[in-house]
A and B are shown apart, each in its own frame.
Chain A
Amino acid sequence: MPPVIDKNLCTGCGTCEDACPLDVIYMDLKEGRSHIKYPDECWHCGSCRQDCPEAAIVIRFPLRMMVPAGVVPY
Chain B
Amino acid sequence: MNRSLQDIQLKTDVLVIGGGIAGCMAAIRASELGADVLIVEKANTRRSGCAATGIDHCWSYIPHIHGEACSVEDIVEDHAKNAGGFIFKELVHRIADNSYERILDLERFGVPMRDENGVFRLVKKIHRVPSFIHFAGRDLKAILTKTVRSRGIKILNRAMITDLIVKEGEIAGCVGISTRSQELFAIRAKSVVLTTGSVFRLYGNPTGMPFNLSHPPSETGDGRAMALRAGAALINMEFITMQTGPKFFERCGRGTYVPGVLRDGSGKRLGTPAEHPANGSDSGSKRIDSSVAVNARAVGALHAAVESPEGFMKTIQEGRGPIYMDCTANSREQIQYIEWALRNEGNTVFLDHLSQEGFGLDKQMIEFSVYEPKLSNGNSGLYINSSCETSLPGLYAAGDAIGGVKRAVCPGALTLGWFAGEQAAGAARRAVCADFDFTGEKEVKHRKEMVSMISNGQGDATWQEAQLALQNIMDDYGGLVRSETMLKTGLSHLSWLKKEMLSDINAANPHERYRTLEVFNLITIGEAVMTAALTRTESRLKPGYHFRADYPSPDDTNWRKFLTVRRENGHLVTDTVPL
Given A45-B349, A69-B367, also A21-B43 (CB < 8 A): yes
Contacts of A41 in B (CB 8 A): 211, 217, 515
Say if the beta carbon of A44 comes within 8 Å of chain B: yes
Contacts of A13 in B (CB 8 A): none
Say if the beta carbon of B179 comes within 8 Å of chain A: yes
Say if the beta carbon of B402 comes within 8 Å of chain A: no
Main secondary structure of the interface of A (DSSP, over half): loop
Contacts of A72 in B (CB 8 A): 267, 326, 328, 365
> Do A70 and B209 touch (CB < 8 A)?
no
| Among candidates B179, B209, B357, B365, residue contacting A64 with C-beta atoms closer than 8 Å | B209
Residue of B nearest to A37 (CB): B511
* Bound: A5/B218 CA distance, A: 22
Say if the beta carbon of A36 comes within 8 Å of chain B: no
Say if the beta carbon of A11 comes within 8 Å of chain B: no
> Do A69 and B267 touch (CB < 8 A)?
no
> Do B216 and A21 touch (CB < 8 A)?
yes
| Among candidates B46, B265, B366, residue contacting A69 with C-beta atoms closer than 8 Å | B366
Contacts of A67 in B (CB 8 A): 246-249, 350, 353-354, 357, 359, 366-367
Segment 155-170 of B: residues with Cβ below 8 Å from A: 158
* Bound: A40/B207 CA distance, A: 13
* Bound: A68/B366 CA distance, A: 6
Segment 29-53 of A: residues with Cβ below 8 Å from B: 37-38, 40-47, 49-51
Stretch in B7-15, B47-55, B114-122, B452-460 touching the partner: B47-55
- Show 5 residue pairs from A and B whose CB-CB distance is below 8 angstroms, ordered by the A residue: A65-B207, A66-B248, A70-B365, A71-B365, A73-B265
Interface residues of A (CB under 8 A from B): 18-23, 37-38, 40-47, 49-51, 59, 61-62, 64-74
Q: Which 8 A-B pairs have the closest CB atoms?
A: A74-B267, A69-B364, A21-B52, A46-B349, A68-B367, A67-B249, A44-B251, A69-B359
Other contacts beyond A20-B47, A46-B346, A46-B349: 7, CB < 8 A: A43-B211, A46-B53, A67-B249, A67-B353, A67-B357, A71-B365, A74-B267
